[in-house]
Amino acid sequence: MTQLYDPSPVELVHLQRCVELATEALADGDEPFGSVLVDGAGRVRFEERNRVGGGDATRHPEIEIARWAAAHLSPQERAGCTVYTSGEHCPMCAAAHGWVGLGRIVFAASSAQLSDWLTEWAEPAAPVAPLPITTVVPGLPVAGPVASLAEQVRALHARQRGRR
Protein backbone atom coordinates (compact mmCIF):
# COMPACT_ATOMS: atom_id res chain seq x y z
CA MET A 1 0.00 0.00 0.00
CA THR A 2 1.40 3.35 -1.03
CA GLN A 3 1.73 5.89 1.73
CA LEU A 4 0.67 9.29 0.42
CA TYR A 5 2.29 12.58 1.41
CA ASP A 6 0.36 15.75 2.18
CA PRO A 7 2.65 18.66 1.19
CA SER A 8 2.67 22.09 2.80
CA PRO A 9 1.42 25.00 0.62
CA VAL A 10 5.02 26.02 -0.16
CA GLU A 11 6.00 22.47 -1.06
CA LEU A 12 2.94 22.25 -3.27
CA VAL A 13 4.06 25.34 -5.21
CA HIS A 14 7.46 23.74 -5.91
CA LEU A 15 5.89 20.43 -6.89
CA GLN A 16 3.46 22.17 -9.22
CA ARG A 17 6.42 23.89 -10.89
CA CYS A 18 7.96 20.43 -11.39
CA VAL A 19 4.78 19.23 -13.11
CA GLU A 20 4.84 22.38 -15.24
CA LEU A 21 8.44 21.65 -16.27
CA ALA A 22 7.44 18.06 -17.04
CA THR A 23 4.62 19.37 -19.23
CA GLU A 24 7.11 21.62 -21.07
CA ALA A 25 9.44 18.67 -21.58
CA LEU A 26 6.69 16.58 -23.12
CA ALA A 27 5.64 19.44 -25.39
CA ASP A 28 9.24 19.66 -26.58
CA GLY A 29 9.57 15.96 -27.43
CA ASP A 30 11.26 14.89 -24.22
CA GLU A 31 9.90 12.73 -21.40
CA PRO A 32 7.61 14.34 -18.82
CA PHE A 33 9.88 14.90 -15.84
CA GLY A 34 10.80 18.18 -14.11
CA SER A 35 12.71 19.07 -10.94
CA VAL A 36 13.51 22.09 -8.79
CA LEU A 37 16.38 22.71 -6.35
CA VAL A 38 15.46 24.81 -3.31
CA ASP A 39 18.08 25.93 -0.79
CA GLY A 40 17.86 26.01 2.99
CA ALA A 41 16.52 29.57 2.88
CA GLY A 42 13.65 28.49 0.62
CA ARG A 43 15.03 30.06 -2.56
CA VAL A 44 14.78 28.26 -5.88
CA ARG A 45 18.39 27.94 -7.06
CA PHE A 46 18.07 25.78 -10.18
CA GLU A 47 15.42 24.00 -12.16
CA GLU A 48 15.63 21.55 -15.01
CA ARG A 49 13.52 19.20 -17.07
CA ASN A 50 14.09 15.99 -18.93
CA ARG A 51 16.02 16.39 -22.22
CA VAL A 52 16.39 12.85 -23.57
CA GLY A 53 14.74 13.65 -26.89
CA GLY A 54 18.16 14.19 -28.50
CA GLY A 55 19.11 10.55 -27.90
CA ASP A 56 21.02 10.73 -24.61
CA ALA A 57 18.87 8.76 -22.16
CA THR A 58 20.85 10.04 -19.18
CA ARG A 59 19.65 13.64 -19.57
CA HIS A 60 17.45 13.52 -16.48
CA PRO A 61 16.76 16.72 -14.55
CA GLU A 62 17.78 15.28 -11.18
CA ILE A 63 21.33 14.38 -12.25
CA GLU A 64 21.69 17.85 -13.80
CA ILE A 65 20.63 19.33 -10.46
CA ALA A 66 23.24 17.22 -8.64
CA ARG A 67 25.95 18.43 -11.04
CA TRP A 68 24.83 22.04 -10.76
CA ALA A 69 24.83 21.80 -6.97
CA ALA A 70 28.33 20.27 -6.93
CA ALA A 71 29.62 23.12 -9.07
CA HIS A 72 27.84 26.00 -7.31
CA LEU A 73 27.11 25.12 -3.69
CA SER A 74 29.26 24.24 -0.69
CA PRO A 75 28.78 20.81 0.91
CA GLN A 76 26.99 22.51 3.79
CA GLU A 77 24.63 24.38 1.43
CA ARG A 78 23.90 21.18 -0.49
CA ALA A 79 22.97 19.31 2.67
CA GLY A 80 20.42 22.04 3.46
CA CYS A 81 18.76 21.86 0.02
CA THR A 82 15.55 20.10 -0.90
CA VAL A 83 14.99 18.70 -4.39
CA TYR A 84 11.40 18.66 -5.59
CA THR A 85 10.63 16.44 -8.55
CA SER A 86 7.66 15.29 -10.60
CA GLY A 87 8.83 11.67 -10.54
CA GLU A 88 10.92 9.92 -7.91
CA HIS A 89 14.64 9.84 -8.76
CA CYS A 90 15.80 6.82 -10.77
CA PRO A 91 18.78 4.92 -9.28
CA MET A 92 21.24 6.92 -11.45
CA CYS A 93 19.92 10.24 -10.21
CA ALA A 94 19.47 9.06 -6.63
CA ALA A 95 23.13 8.00 -6.64
CA ALA A 96 24.24 11.38 -8.03
CA HIS A 97 22.11 13.12 -5.39
CA GLY A 98 23.71 10.99 -2.66
CA TRP A 99 27.25 11.41 -3.98
CA VAL A 100 27.06 15.22 -3.95
CA GLY A 101 25.43 15.26 -0.51
CA LEU A 102 22.13 16.96 -1.31
CA GLY A 103 19.35 16.94 1.30
CA ARG A 104 15.71 15.95 1.32
CA ILE A 105 13.71 14.86 -1.74
CA VAL A 106 9.97 15.44 -2.27
CA PHE A 107 8.38 13.74 -5.27
CA ALA A 108 4.91 13.94 -6.84
CA ALA A 109 4.80 10.40 -8.23
CA SER A 110 6.82 7.39 -7.11
CA SER A 111 8.91 5.05 -9.26
CA ALA A 112 6.61 2.24 -8.13
CA GLN A 113 3.61 4.13 -9.49
CA LEU A 114 5.29 4.77 -12.85
CA SER A 115 6.24 1.13 -12.99
CA ASP A 116 2.63 0.11 -12.27
CA TRP A 117 1.31 2.45 -14.97
CA LEU A 118 3.67 0.95 -17.56
CA THR A 119 2.48 -2.52 -16.60
CA GLU A 120 -1.15 -1.41 -16.77
CA TRP A 121 -0.59 0.05 -20.26
CA ALA A 122 1.36 -3.03 -21.39
CA GLU A 123 4.37 -0.78 -22.07
CA PRO A 124 7.90 -2.17 -21.72
CA ALA A 125 9.46 -1.66 -18.30
CA ALA A 126 12.29 0.86 -17.97
CA PRO A 127 15.76 -0.68 -18.53
CA VAL A 128 16.79 0.37 -15.02
CA ALA A 129 15.14 -1.10 -11.90
CA PRO A 130 12.58 1.20 -10.23
CA LEU A 131 14.33 1.12 -6.86
CA PRO A 132 13.11 3.46 -4.14
CA ILE A 133 15.50 6.37 -3.52
CA THR A 134 16.21 5.13 0.01
CA THR A 135 17.41 1.80 -1.33
CA VAL A 136 20.12 3.72 -3.22
CA VAL A 137 20.73 6.42 -0.57
CA PRO A 138 19.91 4.91 2.83
CA GLY A 139 18.80 7.36 5.46
CA LEU A 140 17.94 10.19 3.07
CA PRO A 141 14.70 11.95 4.08
CA VAL A 142 12.16 11.54 1.26
CA ALA A 143 8.46 12.36 0.94
CA GLY A 144 5.88 11.37 -1.65
CA PRO A 145 3.89 10.48 -3.61
CA VAL A 146 1.26 13.23 -3.52
CA ALA A 147 -2.13 11.93 -4.64
CA SER A 148 -3.47 14.87 -6.68
CA LEU A 149 -0.14 15.54 -8.40
CA ALA A 150 0.59 11.89 -9.12
CA GLU A 151 -2.68 11.89 -11.06
CA GLN A 152 -1.41 14.80 -13.18
CA VAL A 153 1.93 13.07 -13.73
CA ARG A 154 0.10 9.90 -14.73
CA ALA A 155 -1.85 11.92 -17.32
CA LEU A 156 1.42 13.27 -18.77
CA HIS A 157 2.88 9.79 -19.11
CA ALA A 158 -0.37 8.60 -20.65
CA ARG A 159 -0.18 11.43 -23.17
CA GLN A 160 3.45 10.59 -23.96
CA ARG A 161 2.27 7.10 -24.92
CA GLY A 162 -0.72 8.32 -26.89
CA ARG A 163 -3.19 7.12 -24.27
CA ARG A 164 -5.28 10.20 -23.89
Query: Interface with Zn ion by CB under 5 A: which residues?
Result: 60, 90, 92-93
CA 74, 5, 10, 63 dihedral sign is positive
Q: Which of 19, 44, 51, 13 is nearest to 34 (CA)?
A: 19
Between 40 and 67, name the residue whose CB sits nearer to Zn ion.
67
Nearest approach in angstroms of CB 60 to Zn ion is 3
Residue closer to Zn ion, measured from CB, 93 or 114: 93
Q: In angstroms, what is the minimal distance from the CB of 50 to Zn ion? A: 9
Task: Determine how many CB atoms are found less than 10 A away from the CB of residue 47.
Answer: 20
Task: Pinpoint the alpha helices (H) of 28-126.
Answer: 61-72, 75-79, 91-100, 111-120
Cβ-based nearer residue to Zn ion, 21 or 93: 93
Shortest Å, Cβ 87 to Zn ion: 8
